[in-house]
Amino acid sequence: MKKERLAFFRELLNERLRELREEAEKTVTGMTDGKDPFPDPTDRANLETDRNFELRIRDRERKLIAKIKEALARIEDETFGICEECGEDISEERLKARPVTTLCIDCKTKAEAEEKEKKKASLG
């Protein structure tokens, strides 16, 4: 990939990283607020569910942040945008929609089909 395109995707990834970090900080602030605004046990149960939900989101965010960092590392060593399965270029349309991807659309489709087969097989 050309250097200008790499720079474009570096910007895009850094932007996503900033957004995710801001989101994560907001969640942390909400969770460490020591006050209990819901003395009613029913409301408290709802609050716990909300927190579990937030923790799941944060787990997903953490994974996404890790993926973005990997993508940024690939930009640095200029392997970004190359399918790790077949070595072909990944289309820019796909990279714009999902800049953390490491597979071209063909390999991704194949991987998903294999995944489905595996699930079917494990169900017996």
Residues forming contacts to Zn ion in the complex (CB under 5 A) are 83, 85-86, 104, 107
Q: Tell me the closest approach of the beta carbon of residue 16 to Zn ion, in angstroms.
A: 23
Q: Which is nearer to Zn ion, 68 or 101 (CB)?
A: 101
Q: How many helices (H) and strands (E) does the chain have?
A: 4, 0
Separation CA 100–CA 19 (nearest Å): 15
Q: Tell me the closest approach of the beta carbon of residue 112 to Zn ion, in angstroms.
A: 13
Q: Which is nearer to Zn ion, 61 or 85 (CB)?
A: 85
- The maximal CA–CA distance of the chain, rounded, in angstroms, is 59
Q: Which is nearer to Zn ion, 52 or 91 (CB)?
A: 91
